[in-house]
């Protein structure tokens, strides 16, 4: 009986110890180990998207995620932004997967090629990655060469045949079997991409992608864009930038012709602040650019009250510098500024020529009153009471000289002829300080 009781106590003690050991072991559930982030890549590729994806990659790295699935549906966009995204994907230690959920065209194709694996939904497309300039024309040879090299490198780094990447960007590559003969860019369907090794499989959903990459039970964490990031993406769009700058300059120009401070000024300042806000959020500009812009505006205002023009010139240069520092594409910023300046000049011409407006600010710094005779102002006292009086020349008039009239010495001029000293003269005209005399011959004979 005692031995049986002792055995029960031992078993109970061992069970308790086993329970403690189990509870002390780390839990290897899917919430800790099998985490996969899903990050969307939608609409145009621009600098704001690059900033958002950087946050996504950093978050996945911090959370020790097993993989990042980029759900792609984009018509393409800026080459420089795509280049930054490509470097971001290849530099992370987290497994990167492209899930092309419709289209990955142009810059979208380049981004996809920089991920470790690619999966496509049925009917999806990838390709058509020719580089074009801001006017929609083919880019110059230097840009073309860079882009072809980048496309080739993106394909090779993940073991894909570069000929298809080159065919997506170069019309001189001949691939008639894939519907891309010479003169036409290659665009792969989901079936064609799998056939040539540009896709690891055709799937219908994220869940199927998880099965394919080996994490069927992983916890899916979706990273969405914040409002600030969405706004930054919109503001940094190459089409929106010249519009914002034009609205900003137009509003400020119209404000110069308006009494007080109203809607045009508020509109102009808001547009410019939005420009800097978007570039700050996108990581393209720092607070030093905004400070430089404000300093430039302050110097231009100060110039209105200082002579010399130095403050105004420095202020104008400061504003231009702040705008160029807020972007990494100097050429495009230059084009945007030219558009904005053109809009401002046109608005000024319309306000002056059509509406007859004048800049209200000049009313405060330009003297508008005149000291004319009609207003009662005279530059000298007019001695009209002298007309008709007679005097004697104290000096010869050649034609100017001095005359004594009623014991008053006057500086006069003759009517035209030379008059000798001690001759009698008559005042015939007074024009301000100018007194005109004429000789009186008859009196001299007496």
The pLDDT value given to residue 60: 93
Range among 22-31, 229-238, 406-415 rated most confident: 406-415
- Whether residue 420 contacts residue 443, with contact meaning beta carbons closer than 8 Å, is answered with no
The CA distance from 70 to 98, in Å, is: 5
The CA distance from 238 to 240, in Å, is: 6
Three-state SS at 261: coil
The pLDDT value given to residue 31: 40
Find all residues with CB under 8 Å of 270, minimum gap 6, and list them. Answer: 251
The CA distance from 161 to 113, in Å, is: 11
Which one has a higher pLDDT value, 351 or 308? 351
Read off the pLDDT band of 27 (50, 70, 90): very low
DSSP string, 345-385: HHHHHIIIIIS----THHHHHS------GGGT--SS---GG
- Whether residue 403 contacts residue 409, with contact meaning beta carbons closer than 8 Å, is answered with yes
Average pLDDT over residues 239-260: 77
The CA distance from 12 to 19, in Å, is: 11
The pLDDT value given to residue 24: 40
Which one has a higher pLDDT value, 255 or 278? 278
- Least confident segment among 38-42, 146-150, 204-208, 256-260: 256-260
Which one has a higher pLDDT value, 36 or 348? 36
The pLDDT value given to residue 445: 44
Backbone phi, psi, residue 371, to 5°: -95, 75
The pLDDT value given to residue 309: 66
| Residue 345, token pair as written in the block | 């000049």
The pLDDT value given to residue 20: 42
The CA distance from 420 to 303, in Å, is: 59
The pLDDT value given to residue 334: 81
Range among 218-232, 290-304, 397-411 rated most confident: 397-411
The pLDDT value given to residue 111: 95
- Whether residue 43 contacts residue 81, with contact meaning beta carbons closer than 8 Å, is answered with no
The pLDDT value given to residue 116: 95
Cα separations in angstroms, 327 against 88, 174, 283 = 19, 38, 10
With 70 as the cut, is the pLDDT of residue 14 above it? Answer: no
Tell me 176's DSSP state: G
Range among 43-52, 204-213, 362-371 rated most confident: 204-213
The pLDDT value given to residue 336: 82
**In which residue are the tokens 């035209």 written?**
416
Please provide the average confidence, as pLDDT, over all residues in the chain.
Answer: 80
- Least confident segment among 53-67, 151-165, 214-228, 355-369: 355-369
Tell me 326's DSSP state: T
Read off the pLDDT band of 22 (50, 70, 90): very low
- Whether residue 153 contacts residue 113, with contact meaning beta carbons closer than 8 Å, is answered with no
Average pLDDT over residues 165-194: 93
H helix count then E strand count, the chain? 16, 13
With 50 as the cut, is the pLDDT of residue 17 above it? Answer: no
CA angle 222-274-295, nearest 5°?
A: 130
- CB count within 10 Å of CB 227 equals 7
The pLDDT value given to residue 274: 83
- What is the percent of the chain with per-residue pLDDT over 70, rounded to a whole number? 78
Beta-bridge mates of residue 98: 70, 118
The pLDDT value given to residue 34: 85
The pLDDT value given to residue 37: 95
With 70 as the cut, is the pLDDT of residue 388 above it? Answer: yes
With 60 as the cut, is the pLDDT of residue 419 above it? Answer: yes
Cα separations in angstroms, 97 against 32, 39, 113, 168 = 20, 10, 10, 20
Find all residues with CB under 8 Å of 373, minimum gap 6, and list them. Answer: none
Which one has a higher pLDDT value, 283 or 47? 47
pLDDT in tens, 339-352: 888 888 887 778 77
Tell me 129's DSSP state: -
With 80 as the cut, is the pLDDT of residue 185 above it? Answer: yes
- Whether residue 392 contacts residue 403, with contact meaning beta carbons closer than 8 Å, is answered with yes
Read off the pLDDT band of 35 (50, 70, 90): very high
The CA distance from 288 to 314, in Å, is: 16
The CA distance from 348 to 393, in Å, is: 62
Average pLDDT over residues 270-282: 79
With 80 as the cut, is the pLDDT of residue 353 above it? Answer: no
Average pLDDT over residues 232-246: 80
Read off the pLDDT band of 359 (50, 70, 90): low
**In which residue are the tokens 């055709």 written?**
202
The pLDDT value given to residue 251: 78
Range among 77-91, 114-128, 268-282, 425-439 rated most confident: 114-128
Which one has a higher pLDDT value, 442 or 73? 73
With 90 as the cut, is the pLDDT of residue 5 above it? Answer: no
With 50 as the cut, is the pLDDT of residue 208 above it? Answer: yes
If you compute the radius of gyration of the chain from its CA atoms, what whole number of angstroms results? 43
The pLDDT value given to residue 38: 95
- Among 329, 337, 377, smallest CA distance to 83 is for 329
CA angle 70-285-131, nearest 5°?
A: 50
């Amino acid at each position: 009986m005692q031995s049986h009781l002792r055995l029960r106590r031992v078993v109970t003690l061992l069970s308790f110890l086993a329970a403690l050991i189990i509870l002390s072991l780390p839990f290897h559930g899917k919430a800790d180990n099998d985490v996969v982030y899903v990050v969307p890549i939608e609409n145009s590729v621009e600098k704001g998207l690059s900033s958002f994806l950087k946050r996504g990659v950093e978050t996945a790295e911090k959370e020790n995620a097993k993989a990042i699935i980029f759900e792609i549906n984009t018509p393409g966009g800026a080459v420089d932004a795509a280049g930054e995204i490509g470097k971001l994907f290849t530099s992370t230690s987290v497994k990167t997967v492209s899930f092309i959920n419709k289209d990955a065209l142009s810059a979208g194709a380049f981004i996809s090629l920089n991920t470790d694996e690619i999966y496509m939904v049925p009917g999806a497309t990838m390709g058509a990655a020719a580089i074009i300039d801001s006017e929609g024309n083919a880019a110059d040879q230097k840009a073309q060469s860079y882009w072809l090299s980048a496309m080739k490198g993106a394909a090779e780094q993940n073991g894909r045949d570069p000929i298809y990447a080159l065919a997506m960007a170069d019309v001189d590559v001949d691939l008639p079997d894939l519907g891309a003969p010479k003169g036409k860019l290659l665009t792969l369907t989901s079936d064609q991409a799998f056939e040539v090794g540009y896709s690891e499989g055709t799937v219908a959903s994220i869940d199927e992608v998880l099965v394919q990459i080996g994490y069927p039970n992983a916890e899916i964490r979706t990273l969405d864009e914040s409002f600030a990031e969405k706004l930054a993406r919109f503001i940094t769009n190459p089409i929106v930038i010249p519009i914002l700058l034009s609205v900003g300059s137009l509003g400020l120009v119209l404000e110069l012709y308006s009494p007080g401070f109203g809607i045009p000024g508020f509109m102009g300042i808001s547009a410019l602040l939005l420009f800097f806000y978007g570039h700050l959020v996108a990581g393209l500009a720092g607070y030093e650019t905004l400070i430089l812009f404000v300093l430039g505006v302050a110097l231009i205002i100060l110039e209105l009250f200082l002579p010399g023009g130095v403050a105004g010139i420095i202020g104008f240069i400061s504003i231009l510098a702040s705008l160029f520092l807020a972007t990494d594409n100097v050429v495009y910023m230059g084009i945007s500024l030219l558009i904005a300046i053109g809009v401002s000049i046109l608005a000024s011409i319309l306000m002056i020529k059509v509406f007859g407006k004048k800049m209200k600010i000049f009313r405060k710094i330009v003297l508008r009153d005149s000291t004319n005779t009609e207003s009662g102002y005279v530059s000298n006292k007019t001695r009209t009471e002298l007309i008709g009086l007679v005097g004697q020349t104290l000096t010869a008039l050649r034609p100017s000289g001095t005359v004594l009239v009623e014991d008053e010495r006057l500086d006069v001029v003759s009517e035209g002829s030379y008059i000798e000293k001690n001759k009698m003269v008559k005042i015939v005209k007074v024009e301000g300080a100018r007194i005109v005399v004429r000789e009186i011959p008859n009196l001299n004979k007496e």
